[in-house]
């Protein structure tokens, strides 16, 4: 099952994308990131290059204070060990009580029934944004009615792939930026989820924030891929591209509608 692209799909202007990027750079939001062990360092560096600030503790005795005091929370299930499993509900509860946006990235729920069941429990907490691919979505919510119910309750879905689709109870977006080389480096998708969380912290329209965040990250990925000689050099090029991304870069490359 995949999300359908609604007839109300909206175009996205380069000016608007850049204006949200500038808000992130000016505000320097702290994103508390509970992510997998493979992705931690790269994700932290992506947030810093973007202009945000990472924090990453998963210790149960302090995760609620960190998440409640952050500007946004990312929950990534890539390595769902016991410590993360216990810390995640504490962090989500604290972020919700503080009025902070929450992004959930249910990585590989299509490969683990136990992880999929846990992710469904997290959906009951009504995260602001769920970022996943079509295979993960089919495993997590095989019935379209369940997707629609979450959307009606206010959750936005960002389904990534060759084309990225954003669906919400307001506007929908179809995005076509990115480069295949990005999939040859581990944790690019995980780091992209952190970028979305940063954009959620500066824009109340969650669908718009997701569309702009994905566009920024994937345009930076295109620029990086054009400069890199392969996966090994993509990582530093991606960090540099995020750090120096301009309105002209976005205007020249943005593919949406």
Query: What is the arithmetic mean of pLDDT over 214-234?
Result: 97
Whether 212 and 247 have beta carbons less than 8 Å apart is answered as no
| Residue 130 parent element (H or E) | strand 129-133
Residue 134 burial (CB count, 10 A): 15
pLDDT tier, 104 (very low <50, low <70, confident <90, very high otherwise):
very high
> How far is Cα 196 from Cα 157, in angstroms, rounded to an integer?
12
105-140 pLDDT, tens digit per residue, is 999 999 999 999 999 999 999 999 999 999 999 999
5-51 pLDDT, tens digit per residue, is 444 677 899 999 999 999 999 999 999 999 999 999 999 999 999 99
> How far is Cα 193 from Cα 195, in angstroms, rounded to an integer?
5
| Residue 167 parent element (H or E) | strand 164-167
- What global pTM score does this model have? 0.95
């Amino acid at each position: 099952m995949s999300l359908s692209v609604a007839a109300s799909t909206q175009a996205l202007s380069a000016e608007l994308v850049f204006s949200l990027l500038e808000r992130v750079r000016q505000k320097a939001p702290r994103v508390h990131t509970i992510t997998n062990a493979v992705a931690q360092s790269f994700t932290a560096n992506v947030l810093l290059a973007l202009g945000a600030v990472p924090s990453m503790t998963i210790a149960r005795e302090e995760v609620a204070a960190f998440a409640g005091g952050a500007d946004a929370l990312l929950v990534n299930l890539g390595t769902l060990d016991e410590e993360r499993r216990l810390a995640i509900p504490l962090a989500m509860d604290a972020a919700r009580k503080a009025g902070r946006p929450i992004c959930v990235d249910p990585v590989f729920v299509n490969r683990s029934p136990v992880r999929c069941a846990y992710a469904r429990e997290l959906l009951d907490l009504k995260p602001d944004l769920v970022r996943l691919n079509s295979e993960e979505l089919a495993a997590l919510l095989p019935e379209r009615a369940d997707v629609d119910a979450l959307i009606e309750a206010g959750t936005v879905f960002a389904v990534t792939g060759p084309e990225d689709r954003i669906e919400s109870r307001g506007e929908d977006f179809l995005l076509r930026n990115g480069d295949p080389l990005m999939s040859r480096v581990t944790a690019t998708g995980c780091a992209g989820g952190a970028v979305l969380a940063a954009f959620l912290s500066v824009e109340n329209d969650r669908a718009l924030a997701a569309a702009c965040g994905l566009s920024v990250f994937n345009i930076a990925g295109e620029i990086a891929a054009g400069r890199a000689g392969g996966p090994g050099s993509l990582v530093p090029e991606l960090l540099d591209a995020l750090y120096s991304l301009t309105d002209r870069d976005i205007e020249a490359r943005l593919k949406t509608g």
